[in-house]
Homo-oligomer: A and B are copies of this chain.
Amino acid sequence: MNHVWQIQELLHTKIPITRALGVKVEAYDGERLILSAPLDPNINHMGTAFGGSLNALAVLSGYGLLWLEMQNPECHIVIRESSISYYHPVRGEIRATCARPHEETLYEFKKTFHEKGRARIALSSTIEDAGITCVRFQGTFVALS
């Protein structure tokens, strides 16, 4: 069973670049998983957060959400494709929020995975700074057995 406080350890162990990024699990309320990372290690040539770090946080928020949902050590999550828009620079701590999909979408995803050993799902994440949505990310993730 993956509890929310184990997701940070899983990320740091399984995807070691997350330690350099400074990724932390901030919160999970059953509907939204929030990951954070400090600006300093992720700063760019403009003094704001590097786009590659913002995208990485968004991807990781998707992994974390699906690890919490699937609770199955034989289920491996990978990313298949994604798109991201950077509307405003992030000037402080990076906070990526992945929203839990609708119950029906998750039910179909889990059902397909259990029947076929493979299923895909679309997830959305956002990054806000000072109350403004700076980044919108959409990714298609695949669960494999």
Contact = CB atoms under 8 A, between A and B. Distances in A.
Q: How many copies does the complex hold?
A: 2
Contacts of A42: 17
Nearest to A53: B17
Contacts of A44: 14-15
Interface of A: 10, 14-17, 20-21, 41-46, 50-53, 55-57, 59-60, 63, 76-86, 89
24 contacts: A15-B44, A15-B45, A16-B41, A17-B42, A17-B50, A20-B21, A20-B41, A45-B76, A51-B78, A51-B82, A52-B55, A52-B57, A52-B59, A52-B60, A53-B56, A55-B55, A55-B56, A55-B59, A56-B56, A79-B86, A80-B85, A80-B86, A81-B84, A81-B86
